[in-house]
Every structure is written in C-alpha cells, then in structure tokens.
Structure 1
Amino acid sequence: MSPITRAPDTARAARRALHALGLWCALLPAAMAQGASCSAAASWPLWEQFVQRFMQADGRVIDHSTAQLHSTSEGQSYAMFFALVANDRTRFDKLWNWSIANLAGGDIGARLPAWQWGRKADASWGVVDANPASDANLWFAYALAEAGRAWREPRYTAQAQTLLAQVAIEEVADLPGLGPTLLPAASGFALRSPERRTWRLNPSYLPVPLLRAFERIDGQGPWKAVGISFRRMLEGTTPKGFAADWVAYEVPEGALRGTFARDPEKGDTGSYDAIRTYLWAGMTPTGDALAPVLRRRLGGMAEALRAAPMPPEKVQTTTGQREGQGPVGFSAALLPYLRTLGATAALKAQQERVRTQLLEPPPGGQPLYYDQVLGLFGTGWMDQRYQFLPSGRLQLRWEKACPQRSATTAP
C-alpha cells in the first residue's frame, strides 16, 4: 500500500470551507461542471483513502487486521455502495466482477455469494465459509438496483432482482407468530432442541431504507412483512434503549408463537454489530412509519452520550450497563443518529473526534478497516453525498450536480 500524502493545512481548510458552502461545481467552468467532472468519479478523499488501503486493483477488498487477510461479502457490497456514491463506475464493476468470480463461483444466478474468502488452513486461497450473509446480499442488491437506475444499466437491475429473489427463498423464513423474517444466513441460525425451536437474528442486518426500496422493486416479495417482524424484534429486544448484536426468537415445542430472548451464543451484548443499527436508524427518513419506533426504542445511546464523552464499546442491553470506549468508527456511525435526534452537544463532540482521528489522522494513526467503513457511511451521509428518500431511492449528490446525466428525477 502506498502512503497517503496529507494536504497542507491551508489547502485542507479551504477544501472544507468550499465543501460546506456547496460550491464545488460553481467554482468550475460550466463546461467542466457539466462535462468531465460529472462523468468522472466525484471527489471523495475518504473513499480514495479506503481504496488505497484496503482495495486491490482487481476489486478485492481486504481486511488486513484478520489472520486470514480475508475478504467478505459485506466488505465487497459496502464498497460497491461507496463506489456508486462516488460515481466511480470503474471500481464498482471491478468490485462486483471479483465478487461474482470468487464468492459466487462465477454465476450469480446459481448461488448467493459466500460470506468469507481468504487464506485457508492449508495456506491456499479461496472460500473459507460458503454460507451467504443476508446483510451483504441486501447491500449487493441495493447497490446494483440503484446503479442500474443512476447509470442506466439494465444488467445491474436484472442482477439485483435475481439476488432479491434468491434471498427471499433462502434467507427469509416464516417464523411462528412472527411471520416472514430475515435470517442472518441461509443455514446455521435455526436451532432445535426437544423443548424449543430457536432462531438467531441480527437487528443490524436490515436497514429500513433498503427495505423500502425492496418493497418497491419486488412488490410481490416478502419485504413488507419482513418490516413488520423487524419492528417487533426492536420492540422486544431493547428494554433499555440499546440494540443488541444478536438476539434469539424462541418458540416452545408445539406452540404457535414465541418470545424474544438473549442470544444463546453472544448473550445480550451490543457492540460492533449493533453500532450499525443506530447508523441505519439515523439515516431513515423522519417521515417513515418506522422512524418514530427507531427513535423510541434506540434512545439509550443518546442518553449514554449525555453522561460520557465517547460511546461505550459494549452495552448489556437488558441492564443498560456500559463498559469501555468504542473506537472512532462508533463515533462516525452515530453522527446521523445524533443529527436526527437533535442531540447537538453530543453530535459536536463526535464530529470533532471523527475529524481528528479519521478524516485528518495524525501520522501513524491510520484508522482500521471497520472504522473507515463506518466513517464512509456516517460522514458521507452527513456531507449529503447521499441521502435515502422515503421510497428507498438513493439521492446522490453527483446526480443533482449533473442533472442531464441522471436517469430520472422521480422520487
């Protein structure tokens, strides 16, 4: 990886000032603003840093902090979303082509992408865990659907529909008394004992804006019902206003409905998975039917930041007990959440931390992979590089700056 050259303080300050005023295109000649600058990738320094640190030339995203130097379907799908936000179609295609070839066996119509690829126990390279992760598959489908619209590419649209249909078949289950529910993967999360059936679920796997898009794209699919079960999961697992990493839904043998409980493996801890639940909640349009539920059920983190300057690394969701200090990525993930709740003081504190530790890190203080992913999501939304409309459609800043290149202006 080549080192990142930091711009002089004066130039960086000027860029921030121009960005805040929204004058990027206004400062360019009209021909450039409507021509080369619109067709080329949009300027997004944090995305370029991510590419230099974590993405190979062939489109593989690597988490260097893992022993297996692994790539995950989650990482590939997130990066595709960021490439779309950056109007970076060349890298979008590389990311997707690598994912098809290495995670889906070369045929996205035949199988869902494997979750994990990397160095295996015998030192060879390949799929380490073939189980498909549903959150990644939803992000793949969403990025493809929105890329198909924004870049007018029917192939992406068709692939998104293919993925959604497979997810509906393989990763959505009709749970007794709960209805159609998104499972974390195609297998391994439905348990059975002589006394009960148990399903392990992950609240962070289903961003509401993506759900709204899928309701529109696949009107005959299970997505509206999945939203209802998601609401019930939030209401049943957040007694102190905190999201858990994992939860369980237990149905006694012979019963027609069940109850939510602590996850049998992870307990009631909310940490590195759960931080995304607050992130997605903050990005959900305030007029969405689930927005007041999200604000009501996830208020614990805002309360925690009134008592401490930094978000906790771990929370016990049944008691509200907090421990440790979360990394800078947690602060970045909470920016949309705090902005939506109007928690001004906490928002300013987290923004300053993100600025000094993520956007302008000191020498030798480069952020880790997950921190930078959360930073791209959180700061990209705060900077209005993208927003989610009530329909689930993605509103992209570069589309607004280049209206003649937009596929549509309808919401």
Structure 2
Amino acid sequence: MLKTGARSHPSRRVLLQHTLLLSALGWPALAGASPKPSAQRAGAWADWDTFAQRFLQPDGRVLANAQGQTHSEAQSYALMFALIANDRPRFKSILRWTEDNLCAGDVTTRLPAWLWGQQDDGQWGVLDSNAASDADVWIAYALIEAGRLWNVRRYRALGRSLAQRILAEETADLPGLGHTLLPGPVGFVVEAGQRWRLNPSYLPLQALRRLAAVAPAQTAAQWQSLLHSSQRVLIESAPRGFAPDWVLYAADQGFVPDHQGEQQALGAYNAIRVYLWAGMLAPQDPAHAPLLQALAPMVERVAALGYPPEMVDSVTGVVQGAGGGGFAAALLPLLQAAQATQALAAQQQYVADHPPQPDAYYGGCLMLWGQGWMQGRYRFAADGQLLVPWGDPA
C-alpha cells in the first residue's frame, strides 16, 4: 500500500443474452427489461453505506488512517464501490475531490498524487506528489466503466486520458520482460538499466485488459506487451505460490526476492490483493487458469490452516500470524474460483467472526471487495468490462 518518492433499453435478444450471462454468474434472472439505473439507488448496498459513513467525508475525501490522511488508493476504491452501488452522487463527489486536490484541478494534465494530509505548517494538501499506479489504474477503469454504464461522455474521456498518461509515465520497457507497469513514475529504478522494484498487487489484469481494449490503436502493441508482462510478474514472482508484497526484476536474472525492501520478500498487506484480483478474473480470461494453478499453494495453505495468514515468506512459505476478517474476505473469490468448497465455507465463517474494527479503512475495503463479490454485486467480463445487475448490457 505504501508508495514511494442514460443508455436506451437493449433489444430482446441482447437482453436475453445478458440475462443468461447474469444467471451463469450466479445472479437471479432479470424479469422483463433490465432495471434502469435509477431503480437501484444509493443505499442499495448497506455495507457501502456503512463504509461511507465511517470514512467518506461529505466533500468526497476518504479518510484512510488515524492521521486523517488520504491516499489515491482510497479514492480509487471508493470510486469503484460507488459505481458498483450505482451511487452517482457519491461517485461525483469522490471524483471532484480527487481531481481538485490530487490532480491540481485537472486529471487530464497530471497523475493523482498518492498522499494528501496535514503538512508541517498546519495546512492541508499534497504530502507526496509521486503517483501510485495501482490507484491510477482503478481510477481510470472506474471512469471508463462509469462512462459506459451511466452514458457519461466526460467520464469516458477522462478515463481514457488517464489511461494514456499511465502508459506514458508509469511504464518502462524492461529487458527480457517488455513493457511493464511500474508502481509509480519515480523511485522504482533500483539500478539504472539493470534492476527495478515491482509490486504484483498493482496488476489487476481485468482492469488492465479493459484499459487496453479502449486504448488508441497506435498504443495497442504497448498495452498487449504490458498485459503479457503483468501476467509474468504475477506468476514468476511467486514461484512457490505465495505472492510477495514487492519483488525485484533484474535484467540478468529475472525475478529475485526483494531482500533490500522493508518487507524482506514477505507477502502481506499488499500481496493479499494478488489473490483478490486473481480470484475475480472471468473464467474465460486467458490468465484465469494459469493464475489459479500458480496460486494453488496459497489455497491449500489457507485450507490447512483454517485462517488467512497475515504474512507469508514468498521464498520459504513460512507463515507469520493470522490475518483479519478483511484478509479472509479478500481470499473468498479465489477459493470460490478454485472450487475449494470447505475452505470457502471456513473462511466465510472466519469473516463473520472477525469483522474489521470500525476505524480499519483497509480491512473495510477488503471486506467490500470480497463480500460484494460473494453477494453477486459485480463481476468482470473476459474483456474486463464491469458487470452489475442494474446495468444494461454493452
């Protein structure tokens, strides 16, 4: 987590296809026409409302820690939750605050600063102007999908503009790996031309696949290379099936454990999202099966332990501590995808028995992602599109 430095109704045939798809995803069939977005108002997702009451200020800023600071990550997740909930007012306010305060008033001209809070002089503003690519990817994705689902041209344009800025400023061509997403524009080149620090949890393939699908034709090759490298990072950084928080890529060695970093090759509060994003991939996504296979050891370990590890050494597989209910919630989609029925039931009970503390922003986010998925509030199509029960098919 820490970073450095209004559509018309569809035809009957399309509606039927959409209904069958929703049924296949575990959603109840929709009788008659798809409900208009206004049929599901803000408040339809009680857990999101509770989260917003705890962490979201009226102006659209998410409080991410006890210091009252805000991360671009927090804003990106809140945008996604508001979109899933069909909560247009909150989406609008979250976006406005993000653009005004993290993007100097214009998301088309600069990447969002990753950290905002109280400065040394007592004023409130940007504390670190460096960007975080995971937040940027989810913000771009949320804008593009909000533009499609709500038929708001401005959102689509903003999302595409941000996606192109991500490609231009937060990627690099790594020898032997290709076009690769860096954690941010600055601070992740360990040794020029030789070594880079990467974060596997910053690579939600469904979101990247959607950004690639709407990108200009002239950048198609770069996006395809980025998708290829992202899958490699996810799999090759976890040779024993346990994702690290951070990993080094060396031009002459490939992926090597990041023993230089603070986490010493451990997988913990960053890595838990690798399993989350992987579990939510569409079964038709070409990366679905390879990732399930690569991460099978984590599924097996959770099944054996009965609880989610808080930390796992990605080199030795040694477990340290038990994660909270948020960690268990984040693992639910993967356990479901792996058809680990008993482990899934056990972790669902663990989630119920270990709710995050009321002030635990990150645990609350993981709960919304994981439980929202299990409740069938959203899915991702093979091309990365967001599928929601209230939305018309594309």
Q: Is TM (by shorter chain) over 0.5?
A: yes
What is aligned with 2:294?
A: 297
What is aligned with 1:398?
A: 390
What is aligned with 1:354?
A: 351
Moved over 3 A (4+): 21-26, 33-37
Amino acid at match of 1:87: N
> What is the rounded CA distance, in whole Å, between the counterparts of 2:92 and 2:306 in structure 1?
41
Equivalent residue of 1:181, what SS? strand
Equivalent residue of 1:313, what SS? strand
Q: 1:356 to 1:25 in 2, by over 3 A?
A: farther
> What is the rounded CA distance, in whole Å, between the counterparts of 1:171 and 1:325 in structure 2?
34
The CA deviation at 1:121 is 2.8
What is aligned with 2:231?
A: 231
Could you tell me the percent identity over the aligned residues? 45
The unaligned stretches of length 5 or more in structure 1 are 1-20, 252-256, 400-405
Amino acid at match of 2:292: R
> What is the rounded CA distance, in whole Å, between the counterparts of 1:51 and 1:130 in structure 2?
26
What is aligned with 1:6?
A: none
Whether the aligned pair in 2 keeps the contact of 1:72 and 1:116 (CA below 8 Å) is yes
Whether the aligned pair in 1 keeps the contact of 2:35 and 2:390 (CA below 8 Å) is no
> What is the rounded CA distance, in whole Å, between the counterparts of 2:336 and 2:250 in structure 1?
36
Equivalent residue of 1:61, what SS? coil
The unaligned stretches of length 5 or more in structure 2 are 1-25
Cα shift readout 1:166-197 (whole Å, capped 9, x = no counterpart)? 1111001001111100000001001227xx72
What is aligned with 1:271?
A: 268
Q: 1:239 to 1:75 in 2, by over 3 A?
A: same
Q: Is 2:253 aligned against 1:261?
A: no
Aligned positions of 1:50-129 closer than 5 A: 50-65=51-66, 68-129=67-128
> What is the rounded CA distance, in whole Å, between the counterparts of 2:28 and 2:183 in structure 1?
42
The CA deviation at 1:92 is 0.2
Q: Name whichever of 33-42 and 320-329 sits farther off.
A: 33-42
> What is the rounded CA distance, in whole Å, between the counterparts of 1:246 and 1:323 in structure 2?
17
What is aligned with 1:246?
A: 246
What is aligned with 1:309?
A: 306
Cα shift readout 1:71-109 (whole Å, capped 9, x = no counterpart)? 011100110010000000000010000001100011112
What is aligned with 1:137?
A: 136
> What is the rounded CA distance, in whole Å, between the counterparts of 1:210 and 1:270 in structure 2?
22
Equivalent residue of 2:194, what SS? strand
TM-score (norm 1): 0.84
The CA deviation at 1:211 is 1.7
Q: Is 2:363 aligned against 1:371?
A: yes
Q: Is 2:307 aligned against 1:283?
A: no
Equivalent residue of 1:199, what SS? strand
What is aligned with 1:9?
A: none
Aligned positions of 1:205-224 closer than 5 A: 205-218=202-215, 219-221=217-219, 222-224=222-224
The CA deviation at 1:272 is 0.4
> What is the rounded CA distance, in whole Å, between the counterparts of 2:282 and 2:80 in structure 1?
19
Q: 1:34 to 1:211 in 2, by over 3 A?
A: closer
The CA deviation at 1:339 is 0.3
Equivalent residue of 1:294, what SS? helix
